[in-house]
Amino acid sequence: MAEDKTRVCVLFDIYGELLSPSVAESIDLYYNDDLSLSEVAENTGISRQGVRDSLRRGIELLENFEQKLGLYEKYRENESTVGLVRSEIDSSALSDEAKERINSLLGRLSF
């Protein structure tokens, strides 16, 4: 599978609840638990080819959700913006206490 593993994992974190339980389980075992196709097949009771098909279908669905909703791209943009804000804070003339408070508030943001 040539997909970017990190991307699939984040897409799964965002949209995984929208998948059927069987497809979600296959993706979770393969990508998050790092099991092989054969190990996922053994754990789920379906064939290795069935796991492969389930993963393909699941990734297509995740990508479709992202194409329509764009939450992963928004997450990446927000992460980048927070990084830029942290850099600005570090290079500013603010007191250490103020920097710490602002960084603490930035840490409370959830994406």
- Domain residue limits, the chain: 5-69, 73-108
pLDDT given at position 108:
86
Angle subtended by helix axes 48-69 and 5-15, to nearest 10: 70
Indicate whether 81 pLDDT > 50. yes
pLDDT given at position 53:
97
Residue type, 65: F
pLDDT given at position 107:
86
User: Is residue 71 packed enough to be buried (19+ CB in 10 Å), middle (13-18) or exposed (0-12)?
Assistant: middle
Average pLDDT over every residue of 60-81: 94
Pick the CATH number of 5-69 from 3.40.50.300, 3.20.20.140, 1.10.10.10, 3.40.50.970: 1.10.10.10
pLDDT tier at 111, thresholds 50, 70, 90: low
Note the pLDDT tens digit of each residue in 9-64. 999 999 999 999 999 999 999 999 999 999 999 999 999 999 999 999 999 999 99
pLDDT given at position 2:
44
Q: How far apart are CA 58 and CA 68, in angstroms?
A: 15
Indicate whether 1 pLDDT > 50. no
Return the higher-pLDDT residue of 49 and 83. 49
